[in-house]
Every structure is written in C-alpha cells, then in structure tokens.
Amino acid sequence: MFFIKTTGIPKTFVSKKSALLFCLAALLQAFIQLSPATAQQLKPLKKCLFVAPGHSTQLSFAESNDIKSLRTSIYISGIAFDEIALNALSKSGISGYDLIVVPAATAHKLSRQQLKIIGEAVKQGSNLLFDGVSPLNQELEVDLCDPTITISRIRDLQFPSIPLYWQKPARARPIKFDSERMQIRCINDSTEQPLAVSGKFGKGKYLYYSTYFDPITDKGYSRYPFLTETLKSVFNIEPMAERRAVEMYFDPGMRDTANIDELAKFWRANKIKRIHAGGWYYDEDFDYAKLISACHENGILVYCWFEAPMVSRTFWDKHPQWREKTATNRDAAIDWRLLMNLADTNCRKQVFKEWSDFLLSHDFDGVNFAELYFEPSPVGPNLPENFTPMNLQVRKAYEKQSGYDPAELFNEHGKYFWKTNHTEWKKYAAFRKKLCSELKSYFLGFLNEVKAQKDDFELMLTALDVSLTPELSDFIAEDTQNTLMLHKKYGASLQIEDPSNCWGLTPERYARMGKFYRKVVTEPNSLLFDCNVVGSHEKGDGGFPAEKPTGEEIRQIVWNMALHINRPVFYSEDAINDNDWKNISQTLAWDTKIKMLASGEWEVKANNTILVNTDLPGISLLLDGKPWCALAGSFIIIPKGIHVVGINPDSRFGAFATIKSISGELLEASCSEKNLEFTYSEDNISCYVILDRAPSSTYIDGKKKNFTVYAGPNSEFTLKLPSGTHHIKIE
C-alpha cells in the first residue's frame, strides 16, 4: 500500500489495484487530450497527370495549340501535375491520380486497351478532363447531337452575366445532355445548347468540352477562360498556395457609399498588400484618416496617389487663371481629369503647399506621383480640342525659342501645319518632352523633401510605357530615357503603366516590358507594372472572349508580370471580378512546390513568403519539427525556402501569440508559451504584423522599444515595424 498525490483528487489511502486503475485512467485522459490532434492528418495532396501524345506524333496546328493551351492553363495556375507520353500509359501508370488530363490529340491515338484503362480508372474514382471528339466519348458514354452549330458567343454558367465572344467562330456538335448524371458548364449563347459538361461515371467524375479547348492560341485564353475555376467546382482541385503581394488602385469617388472598415476587411481577405488611394479629394470631405487607420488595422499599406496635372476639383474651381488650355483654346477638362498649368511657378507653389500640408498631416506609407504626361493619349495632335499644353505661358516660351506660336502647328492652311511639316512637329514634340520631364523633376524634388520629414516613406513615379510603341512618345510627351533618369536621380520606385492603345494586346507584353526595364532598374522591389482592368476587348477583340480581363487572361497577366517583378499593380480594386482575387494571389505563388512525405508531412519549397491552405483551421502545426505560430485561419504562413509542415501532436500547446498576417517577408519565427520571436525583411517601408494578442514588451534586434500598435476588431493587434531586416521579440 502507498499514497498517491494528484491534482484535484484528495490524498487518500488506496490499494495497489486501485492505484493501477487510477494510473490507467490518467493515461486514458491524457490520450483523449492528445487524440484530437493526432487523429487529424494533413490532407492528401491532389495528384494530376497530363497525358501527351508523344514527340513522334504528327500534330495539326490546332491540335498542337490545344495541347499547349491545356498544359499552360494548368501550369501557371499553380496546380502541379506529372506528364507522361501516350506510350507510357498503363493501368499502374495512372493509379493514384485524382485528375487525368487527356487532350483530344492524345485521345485520338488511344488503343482499345488504353481506352479501357482510362474508363476503368474513372469508374474506380479518378477524374478525367478531355475535349474534342474522340473515342473517349463512347468510352465515357458522352454523346453529341446533330447537326453541328455555329459558335460565336458562349456563356459559362459559373459566371452567367459575362458573355464570352469567340473572335474566330467555330462549328461543332453540342452535347446530348443527360440530366441524371450531367451538369451543364458552358452553353452556346444563341441556342443554349451545352458545349461543356461535367458528369459522373462510376465513382469518378469527368469534365468535357465538345470543342477543342483552345486551338487558336497556345496559351489557353481564346475560348474558355474559367478552367481553373471549373476544376475547383467540379473536382475540388485548386492551387494550395497563395501570396499576398498585389497592389490596387482605389478611387474614393468610386466607393462613395462603401463602409471603409468593411472595405479594408475585404481587401485583407483578398490578399491586398498596398492600396494606392486617389489623393484629389484632399480638399473635400473624404476621411483619409479613417481609411488609413482601417487599412493599417488590417495590415494594409496606404499610398497617396496623385494624378498631376490634375490637382482637385476644388483647385480647378478656385484658380481658373491656372487652368491648362488645349490647341482650340478651351479649358483642358479632358475625360475625368481637370488639368492645371503646372508650368506656372505660382501654380506649382500653391500645389506644393496644399499637398505638403495634406501628406504631412496623414500617416501615409508612401506617395505615388502618377501619369504626368501631355494629352491626349494616345492620339496626340490628331485631336486638337484635347491637345496640351497650349496655355499662353508655354506658347510664348516656344515662340521665343522657335520664332512662331505653336498654335500655328494646327493651322491646316499654314506652313507649320503638323501633318505636312514633319520637321517642325518633331521640334515641338521634343520641346514638350523636355518640359514634361522638367515638371516631373520639380514635383519629385518637392516630394523628396516631404519624404525626408517622414519615416519609412516610399516615393514612387508612375509613367506610361512607350518602349512597346515608340511612336506614342511624341504624341504624349513621354520619354523613356528621361523617366529612367528621374528614377535614378530621385531614388524613386518606378511603376510602368502600359498606355491605352496596348490594353488589348496579349499578356506577353509585360514579359517584354520586364526584359526592357530590368536592364536599368535592378533593385528587386523598385520596379512595378500596372494593368488597367477595363473593357478593352469589345466583343472578343484581340482574341480574348471576355470584354474585361478575367479568368485566364488575368492569370496570364500576373504570370508574365511575375517573370520580372515582385510587385504587380491593378487599376482598380472595384473592377476586379470576384473570381479573380484568387486568380491573382494563387498565380503569384504558382512556382511553390509541395509534396507529401512518407511521414505524412508536407515538404514545401517557396520562393517568397506564401500562405498554404491546410483546410485545418485552429489546429496546432509544426514547421521543421517545431511549434509554428504564423497562421491565418486554415492557412499557414511559410517563409521562403524549403520547409516541412506537420501537425503538432501536443494539442495542449498554447503559443504566447500568433502571427495572423505580415506585410513584409517573414524569414523565421519561433514561439513558446511565454514569448514570440520572428525575423522579417521589408525594403523602404514599414512592415505591418497582425497578432492575436497585445504585446506588452517588444524588442528589436535585442533592444527594448515601443512600437505603434493598432487595436483592431476580433482582439487583433497590428504592429507597425521599421523597414529593413530586423529580429523582433515579444514577451
């Protein structure tokens, strides 16, 4: 006999048998405490297989494009897949795959045995994606109707409000619909007959397009732009990794009824890192302080976006003497911009005073000085009623230099008419480019003085690109070499926007721009590209089915940008379709590699800080064998490098605090029940870190220091940390 001392149980005299029973009960209780975590496993990774026809197969132009399009669309989305040639297809070779992709050209070459192998695999639970007309139709019992129909406009029923135009109409047979085992995915818009369906076959499913997926291009964006969204809805297959790096323009006038707090939460949920907020309401009643506070609480940086020569409507109304003039001598109210004569020294001084007061009175993280060019873009002197600058001051300056009033360039009967006197037009075009560059220099110099009075404040110059269309340079007074010189002189980050006449071009334009600008702008985070998400493809113009970039076009844009830059920007946050938020964040992490280890853990290889969806919200996780504390719902935040993710078997472990979001790059982190430590890196600007607990004592690089803390909703606390690479300890 002996005594046992236990917590919550009185000291008592028990028998050996009773003591043994009690010990077993205690062990059982401990097991029960651990079992919720140990019973949970990381979800098995979806395995995809692409079956190619093989190099020796003779392919038509359409077949070759179709294969490349399917492969490209899946690849750049971030969905990993293995690839085999047709001659390697066997029962053992396709077992264990969740999705098998068989393009039409491959399906045409399938032997009878191979057809049965694929059919049996689907019956047993695999999923199949196929297109065109092939023996797979008979094997999967997917019949087509007669006669053929002409297809020029379709509709994807996931997004029925978006008509999809085929620039090159096609003839094909629609699908004979079986309501008991099929679901319609796409229809021909005029006849409403099915062109794409998903269906059940045994235990598995299939997704079938009755036409070639894309025989027109090798990129996959000319016919069915929503493949990635469809793979998610039909097979629950989607990229697992996302990256929080996108920047969005925000015009307060476009959201005048929006609740700022809810808007900031929406932006955070959609992985926005920075907002460029239109600053031309500074002398009106828009609450910039509220916007900045709400964004900072959600870990989002806010830049002030200026649109010179536009200053503000109030400025325009108060100072008619400084209004810009066009070649027809009217006030330069062009499109939505009210242009001022910034060549006037007094006008500039007043702008500098008002902008300085505004910037210094608000906690902006940076300023974006954008789009100072001379109208009209892209047509220049072809539209005299909008041609600038033609104010009296500029005209006199040029007359003093050249001996004649530049208004004569628009006199159709005079000797200086720009269309017939090419030499004189080139001289005035050079004068305009020099003036435009000088004005930019004045403003960047002024904004650099503002920057010197603020901590961790980024100065950015946004300019229209003329590298792809050099003929535009004379028309809008934009000169690439002048822009690059200003970038170097003032240390400004450079954001390049393609002009409106390029918006209908293919996404590869951003890769070409990247090659050009990266020869000069070498700092990783100092070059940005901007894409305008507007209606640039009227009725399929340019070969893109949706009139506004969405789906595959958005993914291709992001992918081509990311080949050369880390910072994609979109105009604007109110124009992005709901499905495209994930298209952007997932494509930015397309090169993440994830594989399942024999231990049941994941090995993750990331080239940036990423978020990986575990589908296990609230579960304690390990990173590289240690408790991990960077978690956002079901997402684990993983630093750059190769790491191993697993479930923490100790469900009782409670971290002192959890990192729920970080705007910079997370380099490493460790946590215990008493403190949290992490190292981050962020160039030029502050790093915002959201915690689920208010910090009491904070240390940076070993020194105790207090930081700005924003108390947000849901017991969240956001730290504003300095730029650079630093180690933080929180107790």
- Condensed to tens digits (0 to 9), the pLDDT of residues 245-304 reads 999 999 999 999 999 999 999 999 999 999 999 999 999 999 999 999 999 999 999 999
Other beta carbons within 10 angstroms of residue 292's beta carbon come to 22
297 within domain boundaries: yes
211 and 149 together in one domain: yes
Q: Say which range, 52-61, 333-342, 671-680, has the weakest mean pLDDT.
A: 52-61
121 and 29 together in one domain: no
266 and 313 together in one domain: yes
Angle (deg, nearest 10), helices 422-452 and 392-402: 130
Where in the sequence is the domain holding 621, given as residue range(s)? 593-730
pLDDT digits (tens, 9 = 90+) for 387-421: 999 999 999 999 999 999 999 999 999 999 999 99
Share of the chain above pLDDT 70, in %: 94
The number of distinct structural domains making up the chain is 4
- The DSSP 8-state label assigned to residue 340 in this structure reads B
285 and 190 together in one domain: no
Token pair listed for 229: 């969204």
Q: Per-residue pLDDT for 23 more than 60?
A: no
Over the chain, what is the mean pLDDT? Answer: 93
195 and 167 together in one domain: yes
232 and 111 together in one domain: yes
Q: Give the C-alpha separation, 47 to 81, whole Å.
A: 7
577 within domain boundaries: yes
Confidence (pLDDT) at 654: 83
512 and 599 together in one domain: no
pLDDT digits (tens, 9 = 90+) for 159-189: 999 999 999 999 999 999 999 999 999 999 9
495 and 630 together in one domain: no
CATH number at residue 544: 3.20.20.70
Q: Give the C-alpha separation, 144 to 576, whole Å.
A: 36
413 within domain boundaries: no
Closest CA to 600 of 621, 631, 629, 618: 621
Long-range contacts of the stretch 150-153 (C-beta < 8 A, 24+): 151/188, 151/195, 151/211, 152/190, 153/188, 153/189, 153/190
341 and 374 together in one domain: yes
pLDDT digits (tens, 9 = 90+) for 617-637: 989 999 999 999 999 999 999
Instruction: Tell me what the mean pLDDT of segment 138-150 comes to.
Output: 97
Last-in-domain residue among 198, 218, 238: 238
414 within domain boundaries: no
Q: pLDDT-derived band of residue 13, with 50, 70 and 90 as boundaries?
A: very low
Confidence (pLDDT) at 271: 98
Query: What Å distances lie between residue 531 and 162, 473, 496, 504, 553, CA to CA?
Result: 20, 19, 9, 11, 11
Confidence (pLDDT) at 40: 67
Last-in-domain residue among 587, 620, 640: 587
Last-in-domain residue among 238, 261, 285: 238
Pairing label, strands 493-497, 246-250 = unpaired
Q: Give the C-alpha separation, 47 to 238, whole Å.
A: 11
391 within domain boundaries: no
27 and 56 together in one domain: no
Token pair listed for 663: 């705007």
Q: Write b or e for each residue in 576-586: b if 16 or more Cβ atoms lie within 10 A of its Cβ, otherwise e.
A: bbebbbbbbbb
108: exposed, middle or buried (Cβ count in 10 Å: 0-12, 13-18, 19+): middle
CB 682 within 8 A of CB 365: no
412 within domain boundaries: no
Q: Per-residue pLDDT for 8 more than 60?
A: no
Q: Per-residue pLDDT for 18 more than 60?
A: no
Q: Per-residue pLDDT for 2 more than 50?
A: no
99 and 215 together in one domain: yes
CATH number at residue 128: 3.40.50.880
Q: Give the C-alpha separation, 318 to 316, whole Å.
A: 6
Confidence (pLDDT) at 657: 94
pLDDT digits (tens, 9 = 90+) for 557-609: 999 999 999 999 999 999 999 999 999 999 999 999 999 999 999 999 999 99
pLDDT digits (tens, 9 = 90+) for 683-724: 999 999 999 999 989 999 999 999 999 998 788 999 999 999
427 within domain boundaries: no
Q: Per-residue pLDDT for 10 more than 80?
A: no
Q: Per-residue pLDDT for 33 more than 90?
A: no
112 and 152 together in one domain: yes
- The DSSP 8-state label assigned to residue 485 in this structure reads H
